[in-house]
Structure 1
Amino acid sequence: MALEFEKELTATETGIPGMLVFDLPVHGDSRGWFKENWQREKMTALGLPDMGPVQNNISFNDDAGVTRGIHAEPWDKFISVACGRVFGAWVDLRPGESFGQVYTCELDPSRAIYVPRGVGNSYQALEDGTAYTYLVNAHWSAELKSTYTFVNLADPELGIEWPIPLDRCELSEADRRHPMLADALPMAPRRTLVTGCGGQLGRAVRALAEARGLPGFDYCDVDTFDLSNPDDYSKYDWSLYGAVINCGAYTAVDKAETPDGRTIAWKANATGPALLARTCAEHGITLVHVSSDYVFDGASLNHAEGEPLSPLSVYGQSKAAGDLAAAGCSRHYIVRSSWVIGEGRNFVRTMRSLSDRVADPADALDKVAVVDDQYGRLTFTRDMAEGILWLLGYREGDVEPSAPAPHGAYNLTGSGPVESWAQIAARVFDLANGNGAAVEPVSTAEYYAGAEGPVAPRPEHSALDLSKIEATGFVPRDWTEELAEYMAAL
């Protein structure tokens, strides 16, 4: 079959989720031909994941009929032919509805295919002297070999119509012994590491992952994995991970203004994320980094993701530095929140306790001063956890990501009205004991007058624009509705 020249670069979906066939422009004349076999910018624009290849392999086949496979390894592949032709057959060996799905096509120098991790790969050389090439985004290692999975080339359940019958082909003994599909082991999904699992958000992510039955989630906190300590990174085989959700942070805003607190804040919020981002970039891991409204100065009424960073406090400066470091990982989500509420000590629980004291005739507390010149929305950790899994690509029923959102920064808070801390406190008081009138609005300056120790400057306006994450299909719940549910559960 003659090689087709001057085709337009196109990408075509296959019946296997995530697998794409590329028609490649090949330019030829009397001397031979030339092509751009791999072109990151053009191909990612057509839907190819930014796979970040680290190794280029060539399999040369002396004779037509050489047949290899069906192998699934824990990495993505971009497969093409340098010379000759192959008949390729691919079988989805990932757990889920598409397990066992088959796709076949011929490849020549003008056609290539992207094969996601966990899809079994096989081919048959159709011409003598065929050179089959593939880029992969993980290095081969003896440790990883135990994670491979296989299926038999001749399994009748697959229904593969090999152009050259297999009994006339050159096969390895190992390929002949591979199991049938009914006995094949699905490839385990890449694992997800959740750092800071002891905090409000970390606990919420864990609870949601366990409620959905998501496999492969590992959890750690600073006592077992200190992100700012380079030596701690050797505790993990990073080749097994597909995502890291960094829920850890130092959030003592006022203590961060002290000499000791400044050191701790920069260690946890900047040094740690920088080391983590570098590790994720080196291993093709998706990094989810949780950030804060404090990276902005609060001058805007509604902060968009692209607003220039302008932190007022040491805490905000350390978080902004962490954002910049996380953005250095090509596969990243920076998730910005404000006024976080979850399990453990938080503003709502404190206000609930004060409302109970006001309602107690034996307690002398009549009024509670609350700041009335800082404005924002509450962010409930359950909503944040759902939004993070959504960005990673988890949809209802998924055991591994299927439709990740474009990488980048996203605001993720509750939707609903923008209110001051005092207005929110009054809501809590009313829901608890009907005594919202006991909340006394005061200015920030009045509230902190006479405070012992340094006080960090706060953004006046902390509302975050939610249009970007809503455009992905995730619409955060109204925080006022969540507040009522949260209070009822206390």
Structure 2
Amino acid sequence: MSSNELTITTTSIPGLVVVELPVHGDNRGWFKENWQREKMLAAGLPDFGPVQNNISFNGRRGTTRGIHAEPWDKFVSVATGSIFGAWVDLRQGESFGASVTIELSPSRAVFVPRGVGNAFQTLEENTAYTYLVNDHWSPEAQSEYSFLNLADEAVDINWPISLDECELSDKDRHHPRLADVAPIAPAPYLVVGSGGQLGRALTDLLKERGIPFHAPDRRELDLSDPESWKESYRWRGYRGIINASAMTAVDAAETPDGRAQAWKVNASGVSALADVAREAGIPLVHVSTDYVFDGQKPQDQMYMPEDSVAPLSVYGQSKAAGEMAVRAIPRHYLVRTSWVIGEGKNFVGIMRQLAERGVAPKVVADQRGRPTFAAELAEGILHLLASGAEYGVYHLSNSGPVITWHELAREVFRLTGHDPESVSPTSTAEYFATTSVWAPRPSNSVLDLTAIEKAGFTPKDHREALREYLDGLEVVSGPVDAA
């Protein structure tokens, strides 16, 4: 005989789902597929990537264990016997304290998300309780556990067998009540490159939204030296990795030392990040650049996410190599951007300083694109992660009309109350005529935004973003490189 088909049912605890498992039996006994990734993903179960299978054998009826919330997801089921299962949401949020109780036999399982307290009571002798988890136990992980008393009055679980008659550990008898339990925060993101323009925007936004994150500085995580950090983190304890780090000195990358550094950071370092993300089963967000394209598309066309790369410079080549490593892992968001402007030295800040000092600069007018303000880029990245958008390649800049660097400079002068006519146009070749080493730039850097818009994020018009950016920009005194 066989039970019903594989089905998944949601519960009042977000993310906690009940799985009805087909069990096939005859006079010899029965068989079931306790974990079948392809079928279960198709039915709607998260692809949680189990790494360990544990079995708890309980000889006596009434054995009770819990309530334990651990820093990993679990898939719990019964091999023999039956249990009364109880789950309590101990995560931050509106569902904190919500409970669900279900009887489990071999034909039923439950997926338990990280931070949801898990408990069970055996209803038969010789019950084997089994669970898959997607992280390995470690002392660091144990420090993130949370516990709730089995007899908590606020949750009021109706145990079939009185707890006074049950087999309990001394620890389980003395766990705290709900009022004394600190809600469990979501797993943090790891932000690599937090000192750069995008990294600062990301950490500011994560702080503003109360989203946990860890942002190691370069002394802790130097992307150019993977051997110094690959074994230093409990990667499965992170919600995802956001790589905002890169060697972006495009002209210096054309020198022997710069070339080596660009490849260490933008290619080898990114490949190492991709390795740990794949092994941990967590998403990697990697930020790339318009420099992976040669910019030779007709001026009335934009670059699509699926377009082939054809970098002109060492910087572009190293970034393209990093992209290949990222695209090889299943859970990735590859976000290409252009003309980034954020906190720190950047084109808009330099133009404002020149305007304030009465300098009349020459600015290239044969490179076309759209600026990307770091705050907007950070918003888009967090949107992809929070919305569960399809993994893949996205282009993200601010929206609005396509412009040149010369036109952007003129707009900075105009918005700051200076004469835009003092900004004169020049060509890229003329600008670098007296420079011995410089990287070729794509003349067309316009990125098509359709994919990110279909994912539910509409970038702000760069003209509006520029006004907002200038309103919050402090004028910095000191020498300025007009280049």
Matches within 5 A, 1:406-445: 406-445=390-429
Q: After TM superposition, give the deviation of residue 470 of structure 1 in Å.
A: 2.3
Of all paired residues, the percent bearing the same amino acid is 58
Structure 1 gap segments, 5+ residues each: 394-402
What does residue 352 of structure 1 align with? 352
* 2:365 pairs with 1:372: yes
> What CA distance in whole angstroms lies between the structure 2 residues aligned with 1:64 and 1:24?
24
Alignment match of 2:216 (pick from 197, 220, 223): 220
- 1:147–1:188 Cα contact (<8 Å) kept: no
What does residue 479 of structure 2 align with? none
- 2:340–2:373 Cα contact (<8 Å) kept: yes
Q: After TM superposition, give the deviation of residue 483 of structure 1 in Å.
A: 0.5
RMSD: 2.2
Q: After TM superposition, give the deviation of residue 151 of structure 1 in Å.
A: 0.6
User: Structure 1 residues 101, 481: closer, same or farther in 2, change over 3 A?
Assistant: same
The one-letter code matched in structure 2 to 1:377 is R
Q: Which moved more, 1:264-273 or 1:412-421?
A: 412-421
> What CA distance in whole angstroms lies between the structure 1 residues aligned with 2:337 and 2:21?
43
User: Structure 1 residues 460, 8: closer, same or farther in 2, change over 3 A?
Assistant: farther
* 2:32 pairs with 1:71: no
* 2:373 pairs with 1:389: no
What does residue 480 of structure 2 align with? none
Matches within 5 A, 1:114-129: 114-129=111-126
Q: Which moved more, 1:171-180 or 1:340-349?
A: 171-180
Q: Which moved more, 1:293-302 or 1:477-486?
A: 293-302
Residue 386 of structure 1 aligns to a residue in which SS? helix
Please list the CA deviations of residues 255-294 of structure 1 after superposition, one character each: whole Å capped at 9, or x if unmatched: 2122111101011111111222222333334322221122
The one-letter code matched in structure 2 to 1:244 is I
Please list the CA deviations of residues 18-77 of structure 1 after superposition, one character each: whole Å capped at 9, or x if unmatched: 222222233333333333222223323333332111111111222332221111111111
TM-score (norm 2): 0.90
- 1:85–1:127 Cα contact (<8 Å) kept: yes
> What CA distance in whole angstroms lies between the structure 2 residues aligned with 1:97 and 1:310?
49
What does residue 257 of structure 2 align with? 260
What does residue 332 of structure 2 align with? 332
* 2:137 pairs with 1:140: yes
What does residue 465 of structure 2 align with? 482
What does residue 439 of structure 2 align with? 456
Please list the CA deviations of residues 125-158 of structure 1 after superposition, one character each: whole Å capped at 9, or x if unmatched: 2233222111111111233222211111121211
User: Structure 1 residues 352, 143: closer, same or farther in 2, change over 3 A?
Assistant: closer
- 2:224–2:261 Cα contact (<8 Å) kept: no
Q: After TM superposition, give the deviation of residue 339 of structure 1 in Å.
A: 0.5
Q: After TM superposition, give the deviation of residue 416 of structure 1 in Å.
A: 1.5
* Count of equivalent residues: 469
> What CA distance in whole angstroms lies between the structure 1 residues aligned with 2:423 and 2:74?
61
The one-letter code matched in structure 1 to 2:308 is P
Q: After TM superposition, give the deviation of residue 206 of structure 1 in Å.
A: 2.0
> What CA distance in whole angstroms lies between the structure 2 residues aligned with 1:303 and 1:21?
44
Please list the CA deviations of residues 107-127 of structure 1 after superposition, one character each: whole Å capped at 9, or x if unmatched: 222222211111000112223
> What CA distance in whole angstroms lies between the structure 2 residues aligned with 1:49 and 1:293?
33
User: Structure 1 residues 463, 45: closer, same or farther in 2, change over 3 A?
Assistant: farther
> What CA distance in whole angstroms lies between the structure 1 residues aligned with 2:159 and 2:327?
46
What does residue 318 of structure 1 align with? 318
What does residue 396 of structure 1 align with? none
Alignment match of 2:52 (pick from 41, 51, 55): 55
What does residue 399 of structure 1 align with? none
Q: After TM superposition, give the deviation of residue 102 of structure 1 in Å.
A: 0.6
The one-letter code matched in structure 2 to 1:462 is S
Residue 157 of structure 1 aligns to a residue in which SS? coil
> What CA distance in whole angstroms lies between the structure 2 residues aligned with 1:442 and 1:290?
30
